[in-house]
Structure 1
């Protein structure tokens, strides 16, 4: 398993500066990871690290933006040069049983850009039945991935949620993954990607574990 290319090294905190973004990009370049940055820094990141896969977030962190705002945000990010979009679904719509609104919101974002779209379903806030519905609706919206969490609500990625979600689409496990031990558990549960602000630590621990095992 080549781990670095499956890590989205992330900086999305509310006080993130351009210097923070450049620091994460430098680390992504050095360690061979991807990067996930706030949308206001999308163009900076795409221009600074053209060989790095750069993702940004849309409708972050709660997914409650108007659909037109989300679609415009996604299109602006793509125009700025990012490679992938992580869009937050509207969990309130799902919980209210408004599946049509939930689906169409995501479908319009997917249709707005020709790049992969990952749907953040915020699994820690959902029941098992709601996770299943969220994933089915993401499939119907033609999304490319489902993602466990933003990391800005209660809870993060769990093995159980990843296993469940991986029955529908490739999974990006995100939220509270700060070590290779946790990342490995997510990969074994079926995750294709890991999103983490501790991307460097995860890669370094993986390198040591790989070296020790030789």
Structure 2
């Protein structure tokens, strides 16, 4: 393996975002993240305070990452900013681009929204990741939204939610989750703009080989401040890498 178990696990935002997850599921998610050495747990806002209390009580070194306006990116900018202002328990937030504006090519409103929510998050001391939901975008739209996101100066640009409509994605010739080629495009656009923005790949990542391809495409160092992997199947990857290490 090119990378160690510890290196990969430290890049992971261990995610539990299904709507039917219970409080016990979230507790298990936090315990797994600690055991595997993950950087963060990524959850829905409803369980934010529960997760924070557990992390603090156990003195775990895990960041709390909360998804906002997820997975559609359909709220007004005012609502999005207000939700961010209420994130007094989170370390990081992942929020979807205003997808309706993107698909309508209202780039003026896209830019206004992104600059506003990034500024609000930074005023709150939050790390912010902007989700572009690549599977919904044409090649031209990807180029334009990557530009908008990077210029709005968040901490990370993120590929996908993992909840995209697969049929619509296929109609555009896209996959619904993380695609190394999109990661490569993000890295290229960032280089073009002189930005060292972090990249987070998420959605449909299951194996070590997939993770390795994403890392290579990103051009980023093995550093959670520059590169993240969002996944719910972290335990499977962890066990796969342990088995590869023993082989």
> Mapping of 1:19-168 within 5 angstroms?
19-33=24-38, 34-50=40-56, 51-77=61-87, 79-80=88-89, 82-113=90-121, 114-153=125-164, 154=166, 155-167=176-188, 168=190
1:24, 1:166 → 2: CA distance? Answer: 30
1:163, 1:29 → 2: CA distance? Answer: 30
Q: Does the 8 A contact of 1:9 with 1:200 survive in 2?
A: no
Q: Which runs of 5+ in 2 are unaligned?
A: 167-175, 191-196, 221-226
Q: Which runs of 5+ in 1 are unaligned?
A: none
SS at match of 1:109: helix
Residue number in structure 2 paired with 1:13: 18
SS at match of 1:157: coil
Larger Rg: 2
SS at match of 2:228: strand
SS at match of 1:171: strand
1:54, 1:178 → 2: CA distance? Answer: 22
2:81, 2:52 → 1: CA distance? Answer: 19
> For the aligned residues, what is the CA RMSD?
1.5
2:25, 2:128 → 1: CA distance? Answer: 24
Deviations 1:63-111 (A, max 9, x none): 011112211222222x12x111101111221121211211221222212
After TM superposition, the score normalised by the length of structure 1 is 0.92
2:246, 2:143 → 1: CA distance? Answer: 39
State the Cα distance separating 1:144 from its structure 2 match. 1.2
2:246, 2:92 → 1: CA distance? Answer: 32
1:202, 1:66 → 2: CA distance? Answer: 37
SS at match of 1:49: helix
1:137, 1:110 → 2: CA distance? Answer: 12
1:194, 1:125 → 2: CA distance? Answer: 20
Q: Between Structure 1 and Structure 2, how many residues are aligned?
A: 210
SS at match of 1:87: strand
After TM superposition, the score normalised by the length of structure 2 is 0.80
Residue number in structure 2 paired with 1:185: 213
> Residue 171 of structure 1 is aligned with which of 182, 186, 199?
199
